[in-house]
Amino acid sequence: MSLKFVLYSLFILSTTLLRSQAAYTCDSTTCVHPQCFCASTTPPGNIPIDQVPQFFVISFDDAMQQQTMQIVNTLIKGKKNPNGCPITATYFLQTDYTDFGLVTDWYAAEHEIADHTMTHPNLPGEAEITGNILALHSLSGIPKSKITGFRFPFRNYTTASLQLLSKLGFVYDSTVSAGTADMFWPYTLDNGVANECWSGICDAGLKLPGIFEFPMYNIIGDNNVAYLMDPLLGIPVDQGKQWLINSFNQHYKGGKAPFGLYLHPAQLLNQPGRPDPGPQITAYNSFIQYVLSQPNVYAVTYSQVLAWMKNPVPVSQLANHPAFKCTVPKLGTEICNGLDDNGDGNIDERLKQQCSLPTTTITTCYNCPVDTPTPANPVPKSANQNRFEVSTTCDTIYWDPVAGKCLCQDQSCAFTDLSNVGNNSGNSTGGGSGGTNNSTSGGDGSSQANSSASDAERMGIISRITIGGIIGTITFLVLGVLV
Ligand SMILES: [Zn+2]
């Protein structure tokens, strides 16, 4: 607790002292929706504020495992949005230690999967970022183009690493933090980063058209101390829960910028020598219930918020917004797609394969790899070839990997995976709107550029390691196998 307090006091002090260096400007007459969004505390769409939905994003970071999913399910399962749909959340996934069969289930339940690299390194190069997408595609059956968001491990980034994300075609990054003075709605980086100006990144001349920054919003405690990831870790939970409620209300009764709860589920596991996580889990649950009990609050994924921003409607019409409907396909026969297709109460019974990898055991609807996926080899060879890779014209939930066919052919499920990550002899140039005509520098070139940048901006990086990063590091060191 004291370490956290001291570090955050220093963080707030440096924020206060250096914020005057901010150089962000944005002209809303030339930066026009839906291609370009200026950083703003005002919601898009000119909708009366009482008709603007309050979005609540819950994110989980690092490996998805049976143990971490138990925590996640305790927090979100059974909770509903005002339109009757289950609440949805976003998992910033790493490859290492992830159980790929669980990822299929998560995706099929309409939650979001975002990229958090393969091995969780500081300042990742291209292979770490795209390798995660390739591994999740081959072993979880996730269409590459559905992985559109990214968060930097340890919350460390540079201008070069943001440029790399843009080049790879990501729709959004969610790494920078926002305090009370810069509680902006997500914005595109056409005019650079508008938050964390104390670190000098506003002055870096960064201009990345079209890619969103979805800020991580601080929880403000007593004496203006800010908390970000795992906000109840190491503090009295009743006090912390009140800070969460107060901070939520600053959003809810202000410009309604999305509010976030950012958790490492591994921090909430029972671990020898660590305090009982039970009180934290109870407090988070109670807080989530409080938020969902407020009128016009929707707990949704990052991509759903961005879909609303590009096509904003009053909250009274939100239930019919295409991004907010929930649809469960009724296939009748069980296929390995992360759903209970035959209605017997079980998901993918007898269809998931168990694979023993050198470092962990995983399940998958697809072929067991002979080795752990790595940045050098994100899609290792398979021991057996009895499953078919998801087709580029079929979404996961309709794809039968045993038969190798798509069970839906009509317009309601028409889908094409346009991503070309991994399609160009290992040189990924990304898909989607962010794909550029950049030079085709290979993975090595990008990695090299990244490491040079990391040296050049070392001071910036150090000052940018906020408590979320530090706690993430500690999680990594202490729990090792779990994060
Ligand atoms: Zn992480």
Give the DSSP letter string of 155-215. Answer: G---HHHHHHHHHTT-SEE---EE-STT-PPPEEETT---S-GGGTGGGS---EEEEEE-P
Tell me the CA–centroid distance for residue 475 and ligand 1, in Å: 9
In the reported structure, the alpha carbon of residue 385 is separated from the centroid of ligand 1 by a whole-number distance in angstroms of 33
**pLDDT tens sequence across 400-419:** 999 999 998 888 888 899 88
Instruction: Please give the pLDDT value at position 472.
Output: 40
Span from the CA of 212 to the centroid of ligand 1 (angstroms) = 20
Q: What domain range is 164 assigned to?
A: 2-327+455-482
| Residue 223 forms part of a structural domain | yes
pLDDT digits (tens, 9 = 90+) for 136-172: 999 999 999 999 999 999 999 999 999 999 999 999 9
Is the predicted pLDDT of residue 470 greater than 70, yes or no? no
The confidence score (pLDDT) of residue 479 equals 37
Q: Is 13 helix (H, G, I), strand (E, B) or coil?
A: helix
Mean residue pLDDT across the chain: 85
CA of 177 to the centre of ligand 1 (A): 15
Give, rounded to a whole angstrom, the gap between the first and last alpha carbons of the chain: 21
Question: Which one has a higher pLDDT value, 6 or 477?
Answer: 6
Domain presence at residue 446: no
Q: How far is CA 55 from CA 251, 252, 303, 305, 350, in A?
A: 10, 9, 11, 7, 38
Give the distance (Å) from ligand 1 centre to CA of residue 173.
Answer: 14
Q: How far is the CA of 26 from the centre of ligand 1 (A)?
A: 31
Q: Is the model's pLDDT at 2 over the cut of 90?
A: no
Q: How far is the CA of 350 from the centre of ligand 1 (A)?
A: 32
**C-alpha of residue 466 to centroid of ligand 1, in Å:** 13
Interval between CA 472 and ligand 1 midpoint (Å):
6
pLDDT at site 198 = 82
Q: How far is the CA of 423 from the centre of ligand 1 (A)?
A: 27
Radius of gyration of the chain (CA): 21
Rounded mean pLDDT of 2-8? 48
What value does the mean pLDDT take over residues 17-21?
44
CA of 116 to the centre of ligand 1 (A): 7
Output 199 or 315, whichever has higher pLDDT: 315
Q: Which helix (H) or strand (E) holds 362?
A: strand 361-364
> From the CA of 213, how far away is ligand 1's center (Å)?
17
User: 395 alpha carbon to ligand 1 midpoint, in Å?
Assistant: 27
Q: What is the CATH number of the domain that holds 472?
A: 3.20.20.370
Q: Band the pLDDT of 44: cuts 50, 70, 90.
A: very high
Closest to 21 in 3D by CA, of 199, 206, 208: 199
pLDDT at residue 415 in the model: 87
Q: How far is the CA of 44 from the centre of ligand 1 (A)?
A: 30
Which pLDDT value is given to residue 21?
A: 47
- In the reported structure, the alpha carbon of residue 325 is separated from the centroid of ligand 1 by a whole-number distance in angstroms of 30
Domain count along the chain: 1
Place of tokens 């975002």: 114
> Residue 405, Cβ neighbours under 10 Å: how many?
14
Q: Is 375 within the bounds of a domain?
A: no
User: Ligand 1 centroid to 269 CA: how many Å?
Assistant: 16
Q: What is the percentage of the chain residues whose pLDDT exceeds 90? A: 75
Secondary structure E strands in 378-426: 399-400, 405-406
Kindly report, residue by residue over 274-328, the tens digit of the pLDDT.
889 999 999 999 999 999 999 999 999 999 999 999 999 999 999 989 999 998 8
The per-residue pLDDT for 424 is: 58
Please report the beta strands in 96-139, taking only residues with DSSP state E, as ranges in sequence order. Answer: 112-115
Helix (H) or strand (E) holding 355: strand 353-356
Cα of 21 from ligand 1 centre, angstroms: 29
Q: Determine the distance separating the centroid of ligand 1 and the alpha carbon of 153, expressed in angstroms.
A: 5
In a domain, 355, yes or no: no
Give helix 278-293 / helix 66-76 axis angle, nearest 10°: 40
pLDDT of residue 22: 52
Question: What b/e string do you get for 30-52 counting C-beta neighbours within 10 Å, with b at 16 or more?
Answer: ebeeeebbbbbeebbbebeeebb
What tens digit of pLDDT does each residue of 364-386 get? 999 999 999 999 999 999 988 89
Instruction: Please give the model's pTM, rounded to 2 decimal places.
Output: 0.85
In sequence order, the 6+-apart residues with CB closer than 8 A to the CB of 286 are 241
In angstroms, what is the span from residue 427 Cα to ligand 1's centroid? Answer: 25
Position with higher pLDDT, 475 vs 108: 108
Q: pLDDT tens digits for 337-354?
A: 999 999 999 999 999 999
137 found inside a domain: yes
What's the mean pLDDT in 74-82?
97
* C-alpha 136 – ligand 1 centre gap (Å): 17
81 falls within a domain: yes
Helix (H) or strand (E) holding 137: helix 126-140
* CA 241 / ligand 1 centre spacing (Å): 23
CA 147 to chain centroid, in Å, comes to 9
DSSP assignment letter at 229: B
Report yes or no on 439 lying in a domain.
Answer: no
pLDDT above 90 for 445? no
Cα(312) to centroid of ligand 1, in Å? 31
For residue range 85-142, list pLDDT tens digits in order: 999 999 999 999 999 999 999 999 999 999 999 999 999 999 999 999 999 999 999 9
- The rounded Å distance from CA 97 to ligand 1 centre is 13
The torsion angles phi and psi of 128, rounded to 5 degrees, stand at: -65, -35
Q: Give the DSSP H or E segment for 412.
A: none
Q: Cβ(151)–Cβ(176) under 8 Å?
A: no
Beta strand pairing call for 259-263 and 297-299: unpaired
Dist. CA 188 → ligand 1 center (Å): 23
Task: Report whether the peptide linkage leading into residue 86 is cis, meaning its omega lies within 30 degrees of zero.
Answer: no
* Alpha-carbon distances of 453 from 175, 346, 447, rounded to whole Å: 18, 49, 10
Gap from CA of 391 to ligand 1 centroid (Å): 30
Instruction: Give the contacts of 139 (CB within 8 A, at least 6 positions apart).
Output: 100, 103, 362, 364, 366, 369, 373
Q: How far is the CA of 60 from the centre of ligand 1 (A)?
A: 9
- Span 249-265, average pLDDT: 98
* Spatial separation of the C-alpha atoms in residues 68 and 461, rounded to whole Å: 29
180 CA from centroid of ligand 1 (Å): 24
Give the separation between CA 101 and CA 466, rounded to whole angstroms.
33
Quick check: 428 pLDDT over 70?
no
Query: If 0-12 CB within 10 Å is exposed, 13-18 middle and 19+ buried, where does residue 23 land?
Result: middle
User: 262: which strand partners?
Assistant: 59, 229
Please tell me the distance between residue 304's alpha carbon and the centre of ligand 1 in angstroms. Answer: 22
Q: What is the mean pLDDT of residues 181-202?
A: 93
87 Cα–ligand 1 center, Å: 23
Q: How many CB atoms lie within 10 A of CB 402?
A: 12
The answer to the question of residue 356 being in a domain is: no
CA 19 to ligand 1 center in whole angstroms: 27
Kindly state the helix (H) or strand (E) to which residue 217 belongs, with its residue range: strand 216-217
* Å from CA of 61 to ligand 1 middle: 5
Res. 474: pLDDT tops 50:
no
Q: What's the 56 CA to ligand 1 centre distance in angstroms?
A: 20
